[in-house]
Copies of this chain bind each other. A is one copy, B any other.
Amino acid sequence: MQVAKQEILNLEQRYRANLINSITGFKSLSLICTINSENVSNVAVFTQVLHVGAHPPLIGVLFRPVMEGMDTMKNIMERDFFTLNHVPASLALEAHWTSAKWKISEFEGVGLEEEYIAPFPVPFVKGAPIQMGLKFVEKHLIAANQTTFLVGSIEYLSVPDAAIEPDGFIDLAKTGSLAGVGLDGYYKGEKLHRFSYAKPGIKPEII
C-alpha cells in the first residue's frame, strides 16, 4: 500500500485507526496506576510512553483528549503521583481488559492485584517485572488534536537484577516485558544484539 494524505483520510475509520496506530512501530506496553482524592485506585493500559531524559530521569506519556470515564490524567493532577508497570505475557489479557469502560475499579474488574510499596502513595501492579513510581513534572496540550504530553520524574524503580547487564542495560527479553503494536497486538521481544558506541569511519561491533 502506497498512499498520500487524501487517500489516508478517505480510508474507512476503523481500518485507518488500526493502520496508523501500527505504523509507528513497536511500542512499550505499560499499566499506569493512579488514585483519586478519595483513594479510589485506577489502572489502565498505555502504549504511548517515551523516554524523555536520564538525568534527571524523566518519562513522557501521551494522553488522549479527556473524556468522561478516563480518569488517569485527572487522578495524576489530583494526587501528583502515578506508577508505570511493565506487562508480562501472563498479564496481557488483564492489561488489555483494563481498556474496557468499567464502572467498578479495573483492578477488581479484570483481576489485577494492587501492590503498595511504602512510602510511595500509589499502588503498583503485583507481578509486573518492572515497576516505576513517578511524580508529575509538566504537561503540554497538543493543539492539533487536543492530546496531552505529560512528563513525570522517576522517584522509584524496581528491576529484576538478573535482567540488568554489567553496564546498566536492561535486557527486556529477560524481564519478559511485552511490546504493543496498534490497538490490540501483543508481541514478545527477541534480543538480536547490542552495538558498540558509534564513531565515524569505524564499523560498530556487536557487543
CB-CB contacts of A173-185 with B at 8 A, as 1s and 0s?
1000111011111
- Name the B residues within 8 Å of A200 (CB-CB): 100-104, 109
* A28 partner, pick from B26, B86, B153, B192, beta carbons under 8 A: B26
- Which DSSP category, helix, strand, loop or mixed, fits chain A's interface? mixed
Residue of B with least CB distance to A2 = B158
Verify if A67 is at the interface (C-beta below 8 Å from B).
Answer: no
Binding site for B on A (CB under 8 A): 1-5, 8-9, 11, 13-30, 47-60, 62, 84, 86, 89, 92-93, 96-104, 109, 117, 130, 132, 137-138, 140, 142-145, 147, 149, 151, 153-161, 164-165, 167-173, 177-179, 181-204, 207
